[in-house]
Amino acid sequence: MNWDIILSTTLKAAIGVETVWYALAAIGINIHFGYTGLLNFGQSAFLAVAGYGLAVTVTVIGLPFWIGIGVGLVAAVLLAFLLGIPTLRLRADYLAIVTIAAAEIVRLIFRSVEFKSVFGGSDGRRGFSQGFYEINPYAEGTYGFWPLSFNEREMWVLTVGWVLIAIACLIVFLLMKSPWGRVLKAIREDEDAVRSLGKNVFSYKMQSLILGGVLGCLGGFVYGLATGSVQPDIFGTETTFFAYTIVILGGAARVFGPVVGASIFWVLLVLVNGLLSGAVQSGVITFMDITQVGPFRFLLVGLGLILLLVYRPQGIFGDKRELAINAR
């Protein structure tokens, strides 16, 4: 087994691109689900419309990079309205069904043959990140130290990504300390009580949906810029479910929960992958081959999640007191 590579990839996963864009998606979910109690299972659609908004604007229409970012953000806001207006009056479980369906519709439109000339079908779009790397302040070379070293492109994506995470966390922190956040948390507990106290519940739920969607959609930009491409199947339902796993792992309704959760989630995935592949290659494990390692690690993640929910259901940052109350 190559311990150097396992150690290096694992450490890189803790702050890597995957962690960054999943953390952003999870911060959005945390606003929806953790603070407001909205079961939005369509988070991947927000990432998709942002990523495609940028990609199509730059590659198909030929407009500059920054306009593409603007188009992506506007698309996320529009999607929030589109999802919210018919569904936010529904009960929580209906919202879950409608959002998961809407996310699938968005994905299927992006990969459809009909719109292949615009969205590029199942291959997606590439070649839109030039404007982003043109303003890269890092000179060509390798940065960091062993085992954490990145090239200038990775450094630029990670710097921007972690700045975005920091800004998102600051916004969540400020808002959730404020009376605005108090209304959201109250809606999570009991909508009718909030209505009876003179608050426009629908408006607050919509604001929450937009905010979580916009912060989450930043993850779509980061993915697109880091890989230089967008494909429809990246933004499938499992992206949303991973983000939920991350929120629960870190602890719902905690400012840093999604960030730490994303970090741990990817460290575990990469570490298990490295250990298993190494064990298979060196003949320690004989009952599976290298292609089975990928699915098997998700099996272990599932097992880990079950154990987490049994022994520490409040997540890493959660408050056990809150959970005891919720169980009544």
Confirm or reject binding of residue 90 to another protein (CB under 8 A).
no
The residue range among 66-74, 81-89, 148-156, 195-203 that interacts with another protein, by the rule CB under 8 A, is 195-203
d(CA 151, CA 142) in angstroms, rounded, equals 5
Between 230 and 247, name the residue whose CB sits nearer to another protein. Answer: 247
Cα dihedral sign for 88, 93, 98, 99? Answer: positive
Closest separation in Å from C-beta 250 to another protein? 18
Reduced to 3 states, what is the DSSP secondary structure of residue 136? coil
Is residue 6 part of the contact set for another protein (CB under 8 A)? no
Least Å from the CB of residue 36 to another protein: 13
Count other C-beta atoms under 10 Å from residue 189's C-beta: 11
**Binds another protein by CB under 8 A, chosen from 94, 195, 290, 299:** 195
Tell me how far, at minimum, the Cβ of 77 lies from another protein, in Å: 13
| Helices vs strands, H then E, count in the chain | 15, 4
- Piece of 22-30, 106-114, 159-167, 197-205 that binds another protein (CB under 8 A): 197-205
Number of residues that bind another protein (CB under 8 A): 32
Q: What phi and psi values does residue 282 have, to the nearest 5 degrees? A: -90, 5
User: Using the rule CB under 8 A, which residue among 181, 212, 219, 315 binds another protein?
Assistant: 181
Question: Alpha-carbon distance 100 to 41, whole Å?
Answer: 5
In the list 137, 141, 198, 283, the residue contacting another protein (rule: CB under 8 A) is: 198
Residue selected from 97, 108, 193, 303 as contacting another protein according to rule CB under 8 A: 193
Please choose, out of 133-141, 196-204, 291-299, 309-317, the segment that lies near another protein by the rule CB under 8 A: 196-204
Q: Which lies closer to another protein via its Cβ, residue 116 or residue 177?
A: 177
Cα 75 off chain centre by: 17
H or E stretch covering 161 = helix 152-177
Using CB under 8 A, which residues numbered 146 to 175 contact another protein?
Answer: 171, 174-175
Q: Is 113 near another protein (CB under 8 A)?
A: no
Contacts of 247 (CB under 8 A, 6+ apart): 26, 29, 30, 33, 34, 257, 258, 261, 315
Q: Based on the number of CB atoms within 10 Å of its own CB, is 171 exposed (0-12), middle (13-18) or buried (19 or more)?
A: middle
If one counts every other C-beta atom within 10 angstroms of the C-beta of residue 285, the result is 17
DSSP state of 35: I
Q: Find the part of the chain contacting another protein (CB under 8 A) among 46-54, 121-129, 177-185, 287-295.
A: 177-185
Interaction residues for another protein, span 201-260 (CB under 8 A): 201, 207, 211
Where along the sequence are the contacts to another protein (CB under 8 A)?
A: 171, 174-175, 177-183, 185-186, 188-190, 192-201, 207, 211, 321-322, 325-326, 328
